[in-house]
């Protein structure tokens, strides 16, 4: 199974172009090699009243399902900057105070190409609050908050997002003072 319908070598035109080791194309005629490397995405996890801000996707893949504000990292861009940029582009909100939550792999299918991704997640705050949100209708049709109790059943577009939010909730919960540590 190749991640994209590429039948001919883009350098010599040979029809022997092969996809190897789930990583790269190779041309036995002219030895041209092209690595289909993992793509990096970056998203923000913004907590509001104990829930997480999610967007209803306005476009494929997974149109109509929920994802976090985020997107692919551009060439020569830091992942942190990509997360802030994508959040601003999609919601108009200024994410700040980023803290790395973790990374999880994902498959992202777009126009006959399957990209293996490494999705990076950062917790973030939005100083202005949700009142200033202005959704880009090309990216997000609406927004909603997803609580820890809803996490397993909410229509989340990508399993990597669900895993990241679960880790975020677990970390946030463990960071709260327990009855014993609070001296109660
Ligand atoms: Zn070739």
pLDDT recorded at residue 117: 96
Which of 104, 5, 87, 82 lies closest to 53, judged by CA? 87
Examine residue 121 and state whether it is found in any structural domain, yes or no. Answer: yes
Examine residue 55 and state whether it is found in any structural domain, yes or no. Answer: yes
**What's the mean pLDDT in 112-127?**
94
Examine residue 180 and state whether it is found in any structural domain, yes or no. Answer: no
- With tokens 């194309």, the residue in question is 25
**What's the mean pLDDT in 137-165?**
96
Q: How far is the CA of 22 from the centre of ligand 1 (A)?
A: 19
Q: Is 54 in the same domain as 106?
A: yes
Q: Is 68 in the same domain as 6?
A: no
Examine the pLDDT at 127 and tell me if it is beyond 90. Answer: no
Q: How far is the CA of 37 from the centre of ligand 1 (A)?
A: 19
pLDDT recorded at residue 134: 94
- With tokens 């399957």, the residue in question is 114
Q: Is 92 in the same domain as 134?
A: yes
Examine the pLDDT at 177 and tell me if it is beyond 70. Answer: no
Residues in the chain: 184
- Tokens in use for 84? 């802030």
Which of 135, 144, 103 lies closest to 122, judged by CA? 103
Range of the domain at 122: 39-173
State the pTM of this model: 0.88
The separation between CA 78 and the C-alpha centre of its own chain, rounded to angstroms, equals 15
Q: Is 48 in the same domain as 117?
A: yes
Q: Is 30 in the same domain as 82?
A: no
What tens digit of pLDDT does each residue of 56-99 get?
A: 999 999 999 999 999 999 999 999 999 999 999 999 999 999 99
Q: How far is the CA of 147 from the centre of ligand 1 (A)?
A: 52
What tens digit of pLDDT does each residue of 43-57 get?
A: 999 999 999 999 999
Question: Whole-number mean pLDDT of the chain?
Answer: 91
Examine residue 183 and state whether it is found in any structural domain, yes or no. Answer: no
pLDDT recorded at residue 175: 60
Examine residue 43 and state whether it is found in any structural domain, yes or no. Answer: yes
Q: How far is the CA of 27 from the centre of ligand 1 (A)?
A: 5
Q: How far is the CA of 7 from the centre of ligand 1 (A)?
A: 11
Q: How far is the CA of 19 from the centre of ligand 1 (A)?
A: 13
Q: How far is the CA of 35 from the centre of ligand 1 (A)?
A: 14
Examine residue 179 and state whether it is found in any structural domain, yes or no. Answer: no
- Counting the structural domains of the chain, the total is 2
Higher pLDDT, 112 or 69: 69
The CA distance from 49 to 45, in Å, is 13
Q: Is 80 in the same domain as 7?
A: no
Examine residue 181 and state whether it is found in any structural domain, yes or no. Answer: no
Q: Is 130 in the same domain as 141?
A: yes
Which residues are found with C-beta within 5 Å of the ion, ligand 1?
9, 11-12, 14, 27, 29-30, 32
């Amino acid at each position: 199974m190749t991640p994209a319908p590429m039948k001919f070598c883009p350098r010599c035109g040979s029809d022997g172009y092969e996809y190897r080791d789930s990583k790269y194309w190779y041309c036995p005629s002219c030895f041209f090699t092209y690595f289909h490397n993992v793509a990096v995405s970056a998203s923000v996890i913004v907590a509001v009243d104990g829930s997480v801000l999610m967007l209803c996707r306005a476009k494929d893949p997974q149109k109509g399902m929920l994802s976090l504000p985020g997107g692919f990292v551009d060439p020569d861009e830091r992942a942190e900057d990509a997360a802030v940029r994508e959040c601003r582009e999609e919601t108009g909100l200024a994410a700040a105070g980023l803290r790395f939550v973790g990374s999880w792999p994902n498959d992202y299918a777009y126009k006959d190409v399957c990209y293996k991704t490494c999705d990076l997640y950062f917790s973030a705050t939005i100083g202005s609050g949700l009142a200033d949100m202005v959704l880009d209708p090309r990216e997000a049709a609406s927004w909603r908050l997803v609580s820890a109790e809803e996490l397993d059943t909410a229509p989340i577009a990508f399993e990597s997002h669900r895993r990241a939010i679960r880790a975020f909730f677990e970390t946030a919960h463990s960071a709260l003072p327990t009855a014993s540590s609070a001296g109660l």
